[in-house]
Amino acid sequence: QVQLQQSGPGLVKPSQTLSLTCAISGDSVSSNSAAWNWIRQSPSRGLEWLGRTYYRSKWYNDYAVSVKSRITINPDTSKNQFSLQLNSVTPEDTAVYYCARFYGEIVGAYFDYWGQGTLVTVSS
Amino acid sequence: AIQMTQSPSSLSASVGDRVTITCRASQGIRNDLGWYQQKPGKAPKLLIYAASSLQSGVPSRFSGSGSGTDFTLTISSLQPEDFATYYCLQDYNYLTFGGGTKVEIK
């Protein structure tokens, strides 16, 4: 059974950096079948995929165009976790942030495990 | 970036009704589409992957169809526990969610 445990502050000041971590149990961040993702959800933007990190003989990162200039997702193999950093935040970045595993099989791929969600509010 | 247009954005239905939700991609995505159900305060739950494959443990009243640009999620007989918000997700090129369909009690 895979479990994803999120941690990080729920309040960030405007212009500062939002940082969250997702600790993985029951799988490896270096898995060749999974990608490790960050997604956020707000009433105004709905569900928004932010980016992912995954290992296929080497590490890859992909980011959504909407946040590409401000986002970094890093794997940490020593702790079996991955992190999200979003720079220069504004109140528009206020949302519930989720980490999730995207698992790929021959027949298809899908999100099957999610973190508990973290409400991050951007406010001074 | 691929856009996913989901319709309707909300609907009212009664227990036992047949419900259909559609998703249209801005370009062809083969069958690289999933459907998710979300209830308030919870993470989305996978229902259908690869457009028409039912996830293990999901009731057979849920079905998906489509390929290319047009996709459909059907609930054959709506149950009380099905009142929720439904999202499509394309994974052909990066990942994009549809805008969601809230299914409410009539």
SS (HEC) of chain A:
CCEEEEECCCEECCCCCEEEEEEEECCCCCCCCEEEEEEEEECCCEEEEEEEEEECCCEEEEECCCCCCCEEEEEECCCCEEEEEECCCCHHHCEEEEEEEEEEECCEEEEEEECCCEEEEECC
Q: Does B50 touch chain A (CB under 8 A)?
A: yes
Quickly state the pLDDT bin for B102 (edges 50, 70, 90). very high
User: CA-CA distances (angstroms) from residue A4 to A30, A107, A117, B13?
Assistant: 15, 24, 10, 35
Mean pLDDT of B87-99: 97
Sort out which chain B residues have CB atoms less than 8 A from A49's CB and list them.
94-97
Nearest to A92 by CA among A11, A38, A14: A14
Cα gap B1→B67, rounded to integer Å: 18
Q: What is the mean pLDDT of residues B84-98?
A: 97
Q: Which residue of B has its CA nearest to A62?
A: B94
Q: What percent of chain B has pLDDT over 70?
A: 100
Chain A positions in Cβ-Cβ contact with residue B88 (cut-off 8 Å): none
Question: Going edge to edge, which strands form the sheet with A3-7?
Answer: A3-7, A18-25, A81-86, A71-76
SS3 B53: strand
A110, B49 Cβ separation under 8 angstroms:
yes
- Region B2-31 average pLDDT: 97
What per-residue confidence (pLDDT) applies to B106? Answer: 87
Give the chain A residue whose CA is nearest to the CA of B50.
Answer: A108
Give the pLDDT band of residue B34 (cuts 50, 70, 90): very high
Average pLDDT of span B75-97: 97
CB atoms B96 and A49 under 8 Å? yes
Chain B, nearest residue to A53 by Cα: B94
pLDDT at B64: 98
CB-based contacts of B13, cutoff 8 Å, min separation 6: B19, B78, B103, B104, B105, B106
Chain B positions touching A50 (Cβ under 8 A) are none
State the pLDDT at residue B15: 96
Please tell me the predicted confidence (pLDDT) of residue B2. Answer: 96
- Looking at chain B, how many residues does it have? 106
**Is 90 exceeded by the pLDDT of residue B51?**
yes
pLDDT of residue B90: 97
Taking only the tens of pLDDT, chain A with its 124 residues reads: 999 999 999 999 999 999 999 999 999 999 999 999 999 999 988 999 999 999 999 999 999 999 999 999 999 999 999 999 999 999 999 999 999 999 988 788 999 999 999 999 999 9
Burial A18-45 (b: 16+ CB within 10 A, else e): bbbbbbbeebebebeebbbbbbbbbeee
What's the pLDDT score for residue B105? 87
Q: What is the pLDDT of residue B76?
A: 98
Residues of B in contact with A71 (CB under 8 A): none
Q: Copy the structure tokens of residue A111.
A: 């999100």
Q: Quote the tokens at residue A57.
A: 């003989």
CA distance B97 to chain A (A): 6
* Cβ–Cβ contact B82 with A under 8 A: no
**Residue A111: its pLDDT value, please?**
97
Q: Which residue in A10, A28, A30 sits closest to A94, CA to CA?
A: A10
Residues in A touching B31 (Cβ below 8 Å):
108
CA distance A99 to chain B (A): 10
3-state secondary structure (DSSP) of residue B33: strand
